[in-house]
A and B are shown apart, each in its own frame.
Chain A
Amino acid sequence: MISAIPDALALLLTTEALLTLVLGTVLGIILGAMPGIGSTVAVAMVLPFTLSMGQAPAILLLLAVYAGSVYGGSISAILINTPGTPQSAATCFDGYPMAQRGEAGQAMGWATVASVVGGLVSAVVLLIAAPQLAALALNFGPIETFALVLLGLTCIVSVSTGSLVKGLLAGAIGIFLASVGGDPVTGQPRFTFGNWQLISGFNLLAVVIGIFALSEVFVRASKKADEISELAQFRGIVIPRWRDWTGRKKNLAKSVLIGNVIGVLPGTGAATAAFISYAEGKRSSPNRDAFGTGEPDGIVSSEAANNAVTGGALVPTMALGIPGDAITAVMLATLTLHGITPGFRLMEDNPTLIAAIFAGFFIINLLLLPLGMGLARVAAPILRMREGFMMTGVVLLCGVGIYFVRGNPFDLLVMGFAGVFGFILRRQGVPMAPLVIGMVLGPTLELTLRQGLILTRGDMTSFATDHPIAGVLFVITALALAFPIVRGTLARRRLSKTT
């Protein structure tokens, strides 16, 4: 792979290719920042343009939009508490509180640097070890995925600010909402009450945006004029200085690692990575107590991990010709249209093209920093609008984004109800994040659990005994749950001894 790099660079260092990278990244950031569009739709939107392009520029354009959109999702998460994509939901937890404190520029700075580092490291890993990592991905069957998703669910505990019981309840509601629609094994509709609109369940993005963004608008609208907190003051990205990273580098490294590993594994994705990384950060970071109140480490955990996933997800795609998610599936389809059969011989047969893709991916991540800063400067005046206009704009943007994806008015209804529901839950002090985590992870949890039960003929103990990787993950899950209890007990005992 590395020997093909000189040829690959010749392919990359053309005006067409470089222009493609810049335009694609800019477009990706903008689309990712629009609530409701999401990475999959962003990539699909530019797909028609790739049909008339060469092989390498076509794939590079899709990659640039993909990486840009994952980063762009953090912009709206931080500034208006609306994750542009589900994978940046965890960025809201600390990004928005920071912005409310008037540190929106700093929060964006942390998110940008973490994204760039996450993306760059994953590009290097991709270049060096794609075939080896792909072999690892093959060891990950339904049972292993189930164990990993179960671990992801433990982060409900981490993000349940206030009451743990209410957090668990919200998580359960999320999992239940996700179970509406087609049964993953039989395909039969469940909980639809004969309404065909519900055959495919609730649109995840519509619920996420309703819960986060619309409920925020309702909360603001319900306050009296003198109670309203200032909107995020934002004048551009403030890059954290080197000394600001003191005590945070370990968290960054860990988050990048988590993102890379989870990205390689099939069927999990960037949202899971961001949640698990956030939970791990909250467990181990020296600043863990401040998580959820606007702590940079929280933003770093989420953003470094979800951007590291982008490179990881390309590993099985390029090395095995097997798409890891809907986005990489679109990329493989594009290769097909350009006369390349994606498959297990993809890397052997097209070493130059693949090396160009990997190297291009590295450049895209380098571009995120200047392009992100430039776009933020352009966007800053928009965010200084009066609150009334701003909130109207948020509602409009969310509505257009959600309607655009499927052209289905029912999704708007779902978004509206989710907004009201979110507003009620907020009034009762129920945290929103566990609900979203339950909804994102629920379908994979159920599918892989039931696949596992089919494979083991209903014997759940063999999940752990016959599948060592899953067994280890189960142990980690148990430790993750026990850790806060043990630490709390120890702390209390120490406290009672000293007094």
Chain B
Amino acid sequence: MNYVSVTTGVISLILSAGAAVAEFPERPINLIAPFNAGGGTDLLLRGLAPHFAEAIGGDVFVSNMAGGSGTVAASALQGQRADGYQLGYFSITVSTIQPQIRDVPYGVDSWTPICSVAASPTLLFTSADLPYMSAEDVVAAVKANPGALVYGSSGAGAMTHLTTVAAFAGLDIIDDMVHLPFQGSGPAVQALTAGTIQFFGDTEILMQRGDFRPLMVFNNERLETYPDVPTAAEAGIEAPLNELYLWGGLFAPAGVEPEVVAKLESACEEAVSSDGFNEFAANSGTVINYRGASEFDAFFRAQYEANSVLIEAAGLN
């Protein structure tokens, strides 16, 4: 080996490294769903992937890494190289709640947020067979018979749990109610139908599963589909508990180069606004909510802070 070949080798390596950024992506991009295939998050990613691939001009594939309410995938991704080839789709709970209530190796500074994709407000609802027509009815019933009424959740620290906690802590009756966690929304919805629990909170699409009556919506305004249902603020719940959105977006490990972030961000924007993805969203009840990298970063950090109030109210810390 002589100096000339070594030098050319080094130079070509440097050149190719420079070119790698310019020509991102050189290899397929992996979108990681932190839940099982076939779940809501998985379906959303699989709906997004082809449009994302088209926008970025490369191959994109979806993989699943379920476990620990999404924390297994996030823990694994956090230790990966920050080259932009591995992105996780994390929800509000995976990215802001779980790291504050469990011992996981990631936190607020572990990520390069790329873009937000969706955000749906949650609702508090009860069974249509039950007599509670409004938040006041619930407060009166709890005051009359403390410890008798039960609210369900799909698991401690899940969005469904935080919704009920926001409602009942906001109404100051949570200490006189009982929390019954289930594993997943399906069994909880069944328990609400059967009368085992009296209240549950989730997004609009899930509420339509059963014969349920919405009591309030955690949105900044009333929903078009339910104009008679008050917002949480109207029902007497004060900020920051009055707005809750099940949001999610793409995250890369911290330290991705700005050029790569810019490429991923613009591809994400193009994919989210594509006709194909909008059709998918309309069919699946996904509420599209795009934010670019810097805006999403600020939003994510603000949510991380704000949700500590909820975590305290839920007694999860």
Q: Which residues of B contact A343 (CB under 8 A)?
A: 208-210
Contact, CB under 8 Å: B190 / A316: yes
B76 and chain A: residue at smallest CB distance: A408
Question: B105 in the interface, Cβ–Cβ < 8 Å?
Answer: yes
User: Across the interface, which residues of B come within 8 angstroms of A267, CB to CB?
Assistant: 187
Q: Is the CB–CB distance between B38 and A196 below 8 Å?
A: no
Hey, what's the 0/1 contact readout for A450-462 against B, CB within 8 Å counting as 1? 0100110100000
Q: Report the separation of the CA atoms of residues A44 and B181 in the bound assembly, to the nearest whole angstrom.
A: 26
Measured in the bound complex, the distance between the Cα atoms of B104 and A48 in whole Å is: 32
Interface residues of A in 300-321 (CB under 8 A from B): 316, 320-321
Contact residues on B (Cβ < 8 Å of other chain), bracket: 35 or more
Chain B residue at minimal CB-CB distance from A451 = B180
Residues of A within 8 A of B266 (CB): none
Interface residues of A in 141-184 (CB under 8 A from B): 141-142, 181-182, 184
Interface centre among A40, A45, A199, A266 (most CB of B within 10 A): A199
In Å, the complex CA distance between A391 and B314 comes to 52
B39 within 8 A of A: yes
Residue A53 at the chain B interface, CB threshold 8 Å: no
Q: State how many angstroms separate the Cβ of B283 from the closest Cβ of chain A.
A: 5
> Are A321 and B283 within 8 A (Cβ)?
no
> Which single residue of chain B is at the shortest CB-CB distance from A43?
B38
Within 8 Å CB of A321, what residues of B? Answer: 209-210
Chain A residue with the shortest CB-CB distance to B148: A457
CA distance A267 to B186 in the complex (A): 10
Are B67 and A199 closer than 8 Å at their CB atoms?
yes
Q: Encode B181-198 as 1/0 by CB contact (under 8 A) with A.
A: 111101101110110100
Give the residues in chain B near A320, CB-CB below 8 Å: 190, 193, 210
Closest residue on chain B to residue A454 by CB atoms = B180
Q: Which residues of chain B come closer than 8 Å to A45, judged between CB atoms? A: 37
The answer to the question of B292 belonging to the interface, with a C-beta cut-off of 8 Å to chain A, is: no
Interface mask (B59-70 → A, CB under 8 Å = 1, otherwise 0): 000011111110
Contact between A199 and B75, CB atoms less than 8 A apart: yes
Closest to A200 in B: B67
Residues of A within 8 Å of B187, CB to CB, are 266-267
Proximity string of chain A (313-351) to chain B, C-beta cutoff 8 Å, 1 when within and 0 when not? 000100011111010011001001111011110000000
Give Cα distance in the complex from A197 to B39, angstroms.
21
- Which residues on B sit within 8 Å (CB–CB) of A337? 43, 280, 283-284
Q: Using Cβ atoms and an 8 Å threshold, which residues of chain A touch B40?
A: 333
Q: Does B150 contact A (CB under 8 A)?
A: yes
In the complex, what distance in Å separates the CA atom of A43 from the CA atom of B157? 28
Query: A194 an interface residue at 8 Å Cβ cutoff?
Result: yes
Question: Does A189 interact with chain B (Cβ within 8 Å)?
Answer: yes
Known: A189-B102, A336-B284. A138 touches B193 (CB 8 A): yes
The reply on B103 being an interface residue by CB < 8 A is yes
Known: A40-B36, A141-B196, A341-B208. A336 touches B68 (CB 8 A): no
A342, B209: Cβ atoms under 8 Å?
yes
Q: Is A11 an interface residue (CB 8 A)?
A: no
Please state if B38 and A344 are interface contacts (CB–CB under 8 Å): no
Any A CB within 8 A of the CB of B156: yes
Q: Is A15 an interface residue (CB 8 A)?
A: no
* B222 close to A (CB within 8 Å): no
B110 to chain A, nearest CB (A): 12
| B101 proximity list for chain A (CB < 8 A) | 187-188
Contact assessment for A406 and B156 in the assembled complex, using a CB-CB cutoff below 8 Å: no
Let me know if A454 and B38 touch, CB within 8 A: no
Can you give 28 A-B contacts (C-beta < 8 A)? Answer: A40-B38, A44-B36, A44-B42, A47-B38, A47-B43, A48-B46, A51-B46, A141-B196, A184-B181, A187-B156, A187-B157, A189-B68, A189-B103, A194-B103, A196-B104, A199-B72, A200-B66, A200-B67, A322-B209, A329-B39, A329-B184, A333-B38, A333-B43, A337-B283, A341-B208, A341-B209, A407-B63, A455-B150
Given A337-B280, A343-B210, A406-B65; 8 other pairs, CB 8 A cutoff = A138-B194, A141-B191, A322-B186, A324-B186, A336-B285, A406-B64, A407-B63, A447-B183
